[in-house]
Amino acid sequence: MARKEQGQSGMVKRQNVGDYILRGLLALWALIIILPLIWVIYTSLKTNQEFFMSAWGWPKTLQWNNYLIAWKELGIGQSVLNTVYLVVGSMLLNTFLLSTGCYVLARFKFPGSNLIYWFIVGSYFVTGLNTMVTGYILMRQLNLLNSLTGLIAFYAAQPLVFNTLILTAAMKGQPKELEEAAYIDGATYWQTFFHVGLPLSAPTLLTINILNFMRFYNDFLHPLLFIRDESKFPLSVAIYSMSQAMAYRSDWVTLFAAFVIMMIPTITIYAVFQKNMTNNLMVGSLKG
Amino acid sequence: MKVKEIIHSKWFFIVTALLPMLIFYIIFCVVPKITAFYYPFTEYDGISAPVMVGMKNFKILAHDFDLWASMKNNVFFWSITMPLNFFIALIVAYILSQKNYPTANFYKTLYYLPAILPGVIIALMWQFAYHGRYGIFNALLNLIGVNVGEKYWLTHDLYAKLALILPMVWSGWATNMLIFMGAINSVPVSLYESAELDGASDTVKLFKITIPVIWETMKTMIFLGIAGLFGAFELILIMTNGGPAGATEVVGTYMYKIAFGAEGVAAFGYAAAIGLILFLILSTISIFAFRFMDRGDAIELGG
């Protein structure tokens, strides 16, 4: 804070040509970054005729109808339902597996507890493309292909490694007194977990679930590999297959409306939870 | 009475609370990693049972020209995007953290936005942006006076390769920016203050103070950047699917086609062999880099 004040008082004096150039460059860079998104948004509000005439021209009247068409005719509505089921289911299952497991790892010492912790956290660096094929074979052998519930089971397990690292550390830092008091009052271990241990770790679970949401909602590869029936497609794959069909019908504006529909939840979550997501430690996990 | 005692015992809790996580972790995370060492030595079409064939897949792989060409493309994309992502992020992070412009937080939020968007939207959006007649890219070039006509960027082999770099950087650099900002903000203020008293310029401060102090973070990021060698696979799969004529084929798309491609029988054994090679290459480079950089705290940053 000291630096900020010092800097701001100094800024008045030092605001020179260089600063204006730098600030101009920052603004230009922002414009370049935002431009493709702006393009998609305003194209989604044009008619196809307007769009084919000029990339820059503004729509005469805003065609909100495009969104209705995308929702109904392109079948976005069904995909949204599939996505809600998939994402919410995966988040709940991951949270359940994670919070119970990490609570044990954080609070109870028993022979092998450390070993189990490292068994999970240790494979942190062993990730990547090399399990694309074997993951598919596994799902096939388990008869979980072409099933959203199967994908939920798969998803729920994927972020366990990183999330265990975060949540176990957070739970170890929680005060033990409340739990001890609960035991003295005769609460069982499960009761203590649900009424004391779990609520205390809510802030960490919130951050974890924001990241989980982004991970599950944005994923494209796994539904592409695992889901066959169009009626079960989540948004990411549904929009991809729509754009493939664009080769036969050039209805760009409706497709762009679908793009915007898919971006709305992501951007909303980002706008609301920006602080949780730009936190240094969390950035590492998004990158992985 | 006895049953109740067991149910309320500490051991019962430990087992029932820990087992679900362990079971899911073992089935869906550990098993694919272990079988990744088994299927490469088999011939497996997904229908009949896998047949052990020893080193056969690796012998084919050694002479698979397409595979090594796609690996070269990985190196091409990586060697351009990684430095770009790194240096743009460093410069922007330095300006945003040091200048105290009132708009700094707004820019940080906006710059990071592409990094959180769904990959499929990023890829499709850029695919349409490069459309020869209706795409915004040519329209933008026209606007600044460069007339390229109806150039379809993704259908020409060299242009397609170059065109893919833009969305890679667009969606990739800001993650580095956030990490850099975190590191730069941890630089002691007193260092800058005494340098300012000596009349140091911004460039001097960047090279003499900021970079030396965040050097460790930078090394860690280079280390983590290595893992990106085989990245951007989804983007390429959607935007060009390796085309035109294999010009943008990367190992990921190549492996995907062999395992799940429409034509012919799925060659899971061979695709898994490619996966194993990827794993071995990445591990070797990582261990090498790790020892070279003498790093212990890479784990803290995550990746």
CB contact under 8 A, B303 and A284: yes
pLDDT in tens, B138-165: 888 888 888 777 778 888 888 999 999 9
Mapping DSSP onto H, E and C, the string for B173-233 reads HHHHHHHHHHHHHCCCHHHHHHHHHCCCCHHHHHHHHHHHHHHHHHHHHHHHHHHHHHCCH
C-alpha distance from residue B190 to each of B101, B200, B216 (Å): 20, 14, 20
pLDDT band at A12 (very low <50, low <70, confident <90, very high): very low
- Alpha helices (H) along chain A: 2-14, 17-43, 48-53, 65-72, 76-107, 113-121, 132-141, 148-157, 160-172, 177-184, 189-192, 198-200, 202-218, 221-226, 235-245, 252-272, 274-277, 280-287
**Distance from C-alpha of A148 to C-alpha of A126, rounded to nearest angstrom:** 26
A138/B contact by beta carbon, under 8 A: yes
What pLDDT digit, counting tens, does each position of A28-41 carry? Answer: 999 999 999 999 99
Asked if A221's CB is within 8 angstroms of B24's CB, the reply is no
The string of pLDDT tens digits covering residues A154-182 is: 999 999 988 998 899 999 988 888 999 99
* pLDDT for A3: 42
Average pLDDT score, chain B: 86
pLDDT-derived band of residue A19, with 50, 70 and 90 as boundaries? confident
Cα torsion B163, B166, B169, B170 to 10°: value is: -140
Q: Would you say residue A127 has pLDDT above 70?
A: no
- Within an 8 Å CB–CB cutoff, is residue B117 touching chain A? yes
Enumerate the residues of chain A whose CB falls inside 8 A of the CB of residue B233: 129, 221
Among B10, B120, B180, B299, which would you mutate to test the A interface (most chain A Cβ atoms within 10 Å of its Cβ)?
Answer: B120
Q: Would you state the pLDDT for residue B78? A: 93
Asked if B302 is an interface residue toward chain A (Cβ–Cβ < 8 A), one would say yes
CA distance A23 to chain B (A): 8
Q: Are A55 and B141 in contact (CB under 8 A)?
A: no
Task: Name residues 200-239 of chain A within 8 A of B (Cβ).
Answer: 214, 217-221, 225, 235-237, 239
First to last CA, chain A: 32
Q: Do A104 and B286 touch (CB under 8 A)?
A: no
Contacts of A237 (CB under 8 A, 6+ apart): A220, A223, A224, A227, B120
Look up residue B144 and give its two tokens: 């600044």
CB contact at 8 A, A214 and A188? no
Q: Which residue has the tokens 């050694």?
A: B62
* Record: contact A108-B10, CB cut-off 8 A: yes
Q: Which residue, among B74, B36, B27, B85, has the nearest Cα to A287 in the 3D structure?
A: B85
Question: Has residue B299 got a pLDDT over 60?
Answer: no
Which residues in chain B are contacts of A7 at CB distance < 8 A? 99-100
- What does the pLDDT average to over A47-74? 83
Residue B37 forms contact with A (CB below 8 Å): no
Single out the residue of A47, A86, A77 nearest to residue A65, CA to CA: A47
Chain A hits for B125, Cβ within 8 Å = 36-37, 40, 259
Residue B296: pLDDT over 70: no
Q: What is the pLDDT of residue B298?
A: 43
A100, closest residue in chain B (CA to CA): B17
What number of CA atoms fall less than 13 Å from residue A226's CA on the CB side? 30
| CB-nearest partner of B17 from A193, A280, A288 | A193
**What would the pLDDT profile of A274-283 be if each residue is shown by its tens digit?**
887 877 555 5
CA A54 – CA A67 distance, rounded (Å): 21
Say how far apart CA B44 and CA A260 lie, in whole Å. Answer: 41
When pLDDT is averaged across residues B279-296 and rounded to a whole number, the result is 76
Beta carbon pairs, A and B, within 8 Å: 268
Where is pLDDT greater, at B291 or B197? B197
> Best of A13, A17, A133, A264 to disrupt the B interface by mutation (most B CBs within 10 Å)?
A133
Of B182 and B25, the structure prediction assigns the larger pLDDT to B25
pLDDT digits (tens, 9 = 90+) for B53-110: 889 999 999 999 999 999 999 999 999 999 999 999 999 998 998 877 888 889 999 9
CB contact under 8 A, A23 and B22: no
A137, A262, A278 member nearest B118 (Cβ): A262
Contact of B226 with chain A, judged by CB distance below 8 Å, is answered with no
pLDDT, mean of residues B124-131: 92
pTM for this prediction: 0.89
Cβ within 8 Å of residue A40, ≥6 positions away = A256, A259, A260, B125
CA A119/CA A136 separation, integer angstroms: 23
Does the pLDDT of residue B46 top 70, yes or no? yes
Q: 30-49 in A: which are within 8 Å (CB) of B?
A: 30, 33-37, 39-40
In chain A, residues with a C-beta closer than 8 Å to the C-beta of B220 are none
Q: Can you spell out the DSSP letters for B271-293?
A: HHHHHHHHHHHHHHHHHHHHHHH
Residue A126: pLDDT band (50, 70, 90) is: low
